[in-house]
Structure 1
Amino acid sequence: MSNTVIAVGGHIGDMELTAGPTLAKVVLEGGRAIIVDCTYGERGHPTVAPSVYREQKLHEARFFAETIGAELITLDYSDGFLPDDEAVAEQIAEIIRATKPDVLITHWVHSMHRDHERAAQAALRGAFLASIPLEEIEAARHSVPRILHAENWEDMEGFEADTFFGIPDEAFDLWLTGIQEHAFARGETYGFRFIDYYSALMQVKGCLVGERRAAAFRSAGAEKFTLAGP
């Protein structure tokens, strides 16, 4: 499998949690996975100072990426303060031009978190900017063939999955090892059992498509597709 997949999330941990099993699958099948975390997510701990939690989050992000074999890019924005401007979209466009992904994954466009919505908008805008001809960088122009929104219980307003990827045991195990390093995913911040929720969700979605586990997405277009694999 030769797919390059880029996943753009609002905070460290967002795409690791929701798109992570699929990214692990991509790497196992010979593809390239790139995680772009737009903010550090450093304000997400009720008892740890943001400056301290920021360093912990960076460690968690690096551990996860190394565990599943993904590349990591962290943009220098603060949790809760992701700008709604062209600068973020242009940064993502530069990454797209450089990596030429076959698939872009991001949040659904409606969320309880502003950073999620702004990351999704920046990813979609970045994909557009990367696709248009700019005279000085014409050779780097790239149109992303497929754009997907990951299923996230915090981004469910109007979300309806139309694309499912079977998640093999090895990909699930790598994801589980990596995501367990994240304090929030273990339920140590505000108590929500993220790992249990998404592990169970993959089993539920797998029942719908005849797989032991599956990850669900909504296509930015009307088409349905599957990642190539053995």
Structure 2
Amino acid sequence: MSNVYMAIGAHIGDCELTSGLVLADRALKGDKIITVALTAGERGNPSHLSVAEYRVQKVKEAHDFANLLNGEAIVFDYKDGELPDNEEVRLKVANLIRKYRPKMIFTHWKNSMHKDHELTHKIALDAQFLAGIDMGDKVIGERFFSPLYFAENWEDSESFIPYMYIPASSEAYELWCEGMKKQWFITNSKSFKYYDYYTHLSYVRGALARTTHASSFAVLEHQKRIVSSL
């Protein structure tokens, strides 16, 4: 039976960069992939596109990436930089968790230079909680708890300590690279070499995991439990 893996990003491109290698690997193993962007990230628009035009392009890029993995992309309507800190957005995410019942959820670490990233971390944590308790008709479907893991992102690096390493095949790496090239900013940004950074990082984390490619994730203190029988 296949599983569902969900990644929740503040903007289109966040989870594709930071969790995309794992998502590609799971997709090749027959699992269902869901990417969720709470905003489109449209205010990083290039000079030749308006904010509105870039949003349309970004949404298409999100679907192109997900389709490549035979998955599904979900993009909320909130504006880039104006993600609300309210119950509405938390309930929307909680409803998605109950609907798709993911085995794992990947999202942002708690500290970031970007306000939307930090807020997405809080929203995902609260949504995880709300999906697992009785919320009456506010959250549809049977209660469900899905574990959260926090992806490595250069913008979220403050106090980020890798704890869990997830290896990926060379085939998954090639699929991920193909998917990243579908997103304009990843290969065309003049402010940061996204493609170079994340592809090289997969080799660095792979070396530490004693393989070729891997992604690393942080966890909260209460998640750090290693059980060993001697």
Judge same fold: TM > 0.5, yes or no: yes
Verify: 1:179 aligned to 2:180, yes or no.
yes
Verify: 1:63 aligned to 2:94, yes or no.
no
CA, structure 1 residues 139+61, in 2 after alignment: closer, same or farther (shift >3 Å)? closer
Tell me how many residue pairs correspond in the alignment.
223
Amino acid at match of 1:108: W
- Residue of structure 2 in register with 1:3 after alignment: 3
TM superposition shift of 1:134: 3.0
Structure 1: gaps (5+ residues): 226-230
Amino acid at match of 1:161: P
Deviates more, 1:91-100 or 1:39-48: 39-48
CA, structure 1 residues 211+114, in 2 after alignment: closer, same or farther (shift >3 Å)? same
Distance in 2 (CA, whole Å) between partners of 1:104 and 1:39 is: 18
When the two structures are superposed, what TM-score results if normalisation uses the length of structure 2? 0.92
TM superposition shift of 1:147: 1.1
When the two structures are superposed, what TM-score results if normalisation uses the length of structure 1? 0.92
- Residue of structure 1 in register with 2:224 after alignment: 222
Q: Could you tell me the percent identity over the aligned residues?
A: 39
- Residue of structure 2 in register with 1:45 after alignment: 45
Amino acid at match of 2:143: R
Amino acid at match of 2:162: A
TM superposition shift of 1:184: 1.0
Amino acid at match of 1:34: I
Distance in 2 (CA, whole Å) between partners of 1:189 and 1:52 is: 17
- Residue of structure 1 in register with 2:26 after alignment: 26
TM superposition shift of 1:45: 2.1
Per-residue displacement from partner, 1:14-56 (whole Å, max 9, x unpaired)? 0011101101111111211110000011100241210111111
Verify: 1:156 aligned to 2:157, yes or no.
yes
Q: Secondary structure of 1:184's match?
A: helix
Computed over aligned residues only, the root mean square deviation of the Cα atoms, in angstroms, reads 1.7
Question: Which structure 2 residues correspond to residues 89-104 of structure 1 after superposition, within 5 A?
Answer: 89-104=90-105
TM superposition shift of 1:135: 4.0
- Residue of structure 2 in register with 1:191 after alignment: 191
Amino acid at match of 1:100: R
Structure 2: gaps (5+ residues): none
Deviates more, 1:56-65 or 1:134-143: 134-143
Distance in 2 (CA, whole Å) between partners of 1:134 and 1:11 is: 27
Amino acid at match of 1:22: V
Verify: 1:80 aligned to 2:81, yes or no.
yes
CA, structure 1 residues 81+29, in 2 after alignment: closer, same or farther (shift >3 Å)? same
Q: Decide whether the 8 Å contact of 2:98 with 2:141 is kept in 1.
A: no
Question: Which structure 2 residues correspond to residues 161-172 of structure 1 after superposition, within 5 A?
Answer: 161-172=162-173
